[in-house]
Amino acid sequence: MIVEGDDLYGDGVNIAARIEALADAGGVFFSNTVHDQVRDRLPFVFDDLGEQLLKNIARPVRVFRVRDVRGAENIPAQSRPALALPDKPSIAVLPFANMSGDPEQEYFADGMVEEIITSLSQIRWLFVIARNSTFTYKGQAIDVKQVGRDLGVRYVLEGSVRKAGGRVRITAQLIDATNGAHLWADRFDGLLEDVFDIQDKVASSVAGVIEPALQAAETARSASRLTNDLTAYDLYLRANAMYLSSARQLPEALRLMELAIARDPRYGPALAWAAHYRHRLLFDGRSEDRETDRLKGAAFARRALEVAGDDPGVLVCAARVLAYFGEDIGTMMAMVDRALALNPNFARGWYISSTLRLFAGQLDVAIEHAEASLRLSPRARIGTPLLTIGTAQFLSRCFDEAVPNLLLAIQDDPSFADPYRYLAACYAHMGRLDSAREVIARLRSVAPVVIPDVSYLRNPEHRELLLSGLRLAAGEEK
């Protein structure tokens, strides 16, 4: 993406063609104007590529390449800022290698790591980095010391998963990232049907090594296992892997998640994510039957709450869906607060808390909670938390501050419609109608709906600010 004075160059959906000549350089590209705006506010490293001639652009543009820590392997270690260590033991669980010899089993190894992260996050004295950040290292050669610097943690857990026949083997090693010392290594073998107990053993062993004095505070086990049906668990993992890889795969992910629910109707996480998938269809403007998706989404969310117990993931997911569908916003925020009390390390919980505060019109708190989610997931520097921050800035009429965050949100997930809508409305209110209309053109290639239902915003002034901006950007009458 090329940005000049906050203008998107190009003709909407074909903007990528304008930077084809720069493709080998990789990364995200900003002009000098935007570089000056964001360099002191966002934790990126910038490469000055000098004056560049771009296709169909009359004058040369000075271009900077943006590299966050996801390009860390290309940046000298001494030039990357190290995050301060928290005031309690801290750990990052890196993606485990899939040793099964079958690429199709990658999702199983990823699901194993996610379960271990969830178990460790329930230890209140432990600071745990979220999955979104650690999984950006997937498939990379790892320098454990640099990982510790990038993420601001003292300990790193890495390992492998081998699934064959009816058995599973997990190997894991714990490393002190400050000096590279190996503190502990172990191997866990068992029957596939005992996979949940193996996950708990890994998590509790790591906890004991990190702080022997607090070994009694090892992983809190759930009052009841989330599901005992391994096929339902497998379908759940496949669905989420598919959804996280691309929003365009949402219908197939929903089909798999509903198959998991059919096998285990009380599978809380599956119910919560199925509710989220239905909500996302509506939110993106992709729903083919809005009333059916609304009713089924709300029903899934309520069923999830019936079986949630103290599961923070289920609580926050259901709360967001029900808040979007119009349930009392105060009650839903209280539900998320309860989830965060249960698991203060839950980055996604802080993010969902920020979106509910945004819905409620509590804009400063929304930004604060989005920033908390970014601290717990420091590699997720672009994406939905920055969308929340940019949206809150837009609704506060801080348009100049909102633009860089909304641009980064688009760069992170070009298939997500909402950043385009808020950016177009933002440009319109700034009087930059040409830029607003270019963004609208790109939006139309992503989603069929330009002006959506914004009733989730409880403040009528906020609703009107967004709608009036979109009407201006789309060239419609006020």
97 pLDDT more than 70: yes
Least confident of 22-26, 34-38, 129-133, 228-232: 22-26
- Residues 48-80 have pLDDT tens digits of 655 655 555 555 666 655 554 344 344 444 444
189 pLDDT more than 90: no
- Residues 363-372 have pLDDT tens digits of 999 999 999 8
Domains annotated for the chain, with CATH where assigned, are 3-67 (3.30.70.1230), 90-217 (3.40.50.10610), 222-344 (1.25.40.10), 360-478 (1.25.40.10)
Q: What is the mean pLDDT of residues 264-268?
A: 90
CB atoms within 10 A of CB 328: 10
pLDDT value of residue 242: 82
- Residues 245-262 have pLDDT tens digits of 767 788 899 999 999 999
Provide the pairing of β-strand 155-164 with 167-176: antiparallel
The DSSP 8-state label assigned to residue 140 in this structure reads S
281 pLDDT more than 80: yes
- Band (pLDDT 50/70/90 cuts) for residue 193 is confident
188 CA to centre of own chain: 30
pLDDT value of residue 81: 57
Mean pLDDT, all residues of the chain: 78
Structure tokens at 261: 């629910």
- Cβ neighbours of residue 172 closer than 8 Å, sequence gap 6 or more: 96, 157, 158, 159, 185, 186, 187, 188, 202, 205, 206
pTM over 0.75: no
Please tell me the distance from the alpha carbon of residue 326 to that of residue 301, in angstroms, as a whole number. 13
Please tell me the distance from the alpha carbon of residue 109 to that of residue 91, in angstroms, as a whole number. 19
240-243 long-range contacts, Cβ below 8 Å, gap at least 24?
240/111, 240/273, 241/106, 241/107, 241/110, 241/111, 243/273, 243/277
Largest Cα separation within the chain, whole Å, is 68
